[in-house]
Amino acid sequence: MEGAWEIAFVLFQVWLSIVVGLIVLPAMFGVSLGFTDIYIKVLVKTLEVKAFLLCLVSFQIHNVLSGIIEKDDDFTMCDAFYFCKKGIENIVEDQVTQRFTSEELASWNLLTRTNNNFRYISVRLTIIWGLGVFIRYCILLPLRITLAVIGLSWLVIGTTLVGLLPSSNAKNWLSDLVHITCYRICARGLSATIRYHNKENRPKKGGICVANHTSPIDIVILANDGCYAMVGQVHGGLMGVIQRSMVRSCPHVWFERSEMKDRHAVAKRLKDHIADKTKLPILIFPEGTCINNTSVMMFKKGSFEIGGTIYPVAIKYDPQFGDAFWNSAKNNMVSYLLRMMTSWAIVCNMWYLPPMTRQDGEDAVQFANRVKSAIAHQGGLVDLSWDGGLKREKVKESFKEEQQKMYSSMIVGLDCHEASEGPV
């Protein structure tokens, strides 16, 4: 028995040193040994072969939304059909909910979570799938968990140590170093391959960085290439520990739940932060919630009222390797992280867009929409005007009125409108 424990311990040490030597250290220095690249290439080849096998069996649901009514300025009985059709489509699948479920993949990447309708197709495919499961759960998962633990402990310990230093340039430099190295380790822990574009537009101090939101991993992705001041709610538990230690080394903006309700207090704190040019740029996700990375929903105007320069960033994940979307209604954080660590890889592209400021005569909402369009356009995402908050709140009456307006303008025509503009 004693012998077995000793052997296990030795193996563990060997394992740990391999991990540290080959992954953690290069990660901290931003050096890539090329393992991830090779891994990704192999993955791509395998999936291409398999996709060819499966293309006969895949299917999508396609909503035929013909918004075009053949109108000839007259109400006919079949006009109700248009609304009826829309209504039925919404019963089967409404647009808001659809944005919050994962992108349907035309091909399947051997993760059953992405294709609900996995069928038993052939022995060969099931064997490949089984092999995939083994690799993901028994080889990749322990490796990734080790890396994540190392990364987070390093963050907590490192920031606490740096926090003991008096304020100085050295402290800031060290704090940046600790943060970046930790995020790099975490990124390796997810087998994340990130391609950065337009690095010259990187956010500067005293600015606000704005990005579309797909999952909590966005933070890791963004922070791999720069240091940001995070904004968010104070949490308890492990998150709380991390938050408190982060704040020791450089200022972040953490709000109590009660403070969040007071918009002016929130705005004031953020304003104060960006007014101080020595503080890091703030990172904000204006959609307010996680979207499934096929579209960008309405940006809440709060972040755009503060002033300052906005640095938009577009993040687009490649769904072929792993779906990064976090459906907070469906998975809690732990099960979500488990999913991420048992996916093949996270591959994403990040575009830094040129800075934008609010122009004269533009109100916060218009500015927000302008930024949103820029991000959606760059990332190849659909620019939706749906409010991400609809996922949780009630619909406003004004939306119904808009539908009625649109319909009536087709029926009634211009001259009737002029008549109705009268004393009524």
Partner 1 sequence: MGSTSSTLLKIPNVEVLMQETGFSPAHIIRLHDRFKALDKEGRGHLCPQDFGAIKELAMNPIGDRIIGAFFSPGKETVDFHTFVKILILAHFRPVDKNRPKEPNSPEPINSRSNKLKFAFQLYDQDQDGKISRDELLKVLQAMLGMQVTEEQLESIADRTIQEADLDRDDAISFEEFRKSLEKVNIDHKMSIRFLR
Q: Which residues bind partner 1 (CB under 8 A)?
A: 59-64, 66, 74-97, 112, 116-120, 390, 394-395, 399-401, 403-405, 407-409, 411-412, 416, 419-420, 424
Tokens of 331: 């998975």
- Whichever of 136 and 252 has its CB closer to partner 1, that residue is 136
CA 417 to CA 415: how far, in whole Å? 5
Q: Nearest approach, Cβ of 345 to partner 1 (angstroms)?
A: 22
Q: Strands 295-296, 382-383: parallel, antiparallel or unpaired by DSSP?
A: parallel
Q: Nearest approach, Cβ of 157 to partner 1 (angstroms)?
A: 41
- Whichever of 166 and 422 has its CB closer to partner 1, that residue is 422
Q: Nearest approach, Cβ of 88 to partner 1 (angstroms)?
A: 4
Q: Nearest approach, Cβ of 332 to partner 1 (angstroms)?
A: 18
- Whichever of 60 and 168 has its CB closer to partner 1, that residue is 60
Tokens of 112: 């059953």
End-to-end CA distance of the chain: give it in Å, rounded.
Answer: 93
CA 142 to CA 163: how far, in whole Å? 31
CB atoms within 10 A of CB 185: 25
* Helix-helix angle 79-92:397-420, to 10 degrees: 170
Tokens of 130: 């089984």
- Whichever of 60 and 258 has its CB closer to partner 1, that residue is 60
Q: Nearest approach, Cβ of 402 to partner 1 (angstroms)?
A: 9
In contact, 228 and 209? CB cutoff 8 Å: yes
Q: Using DSSP, state whether 419 is helix, strand or coil.
A: helix
Q: Nearest approach, Cβ of 340 to partner 1 (angstroms)?
A: 20
Phi/psi at 231 (nearest 5 deg)?
-125, 135
- Whichever of 104 and 383 has its CB closer to partner 1, that residue is 104
- Whichever of 66 and 258 has its CB closer to partner 1, that residue is 66
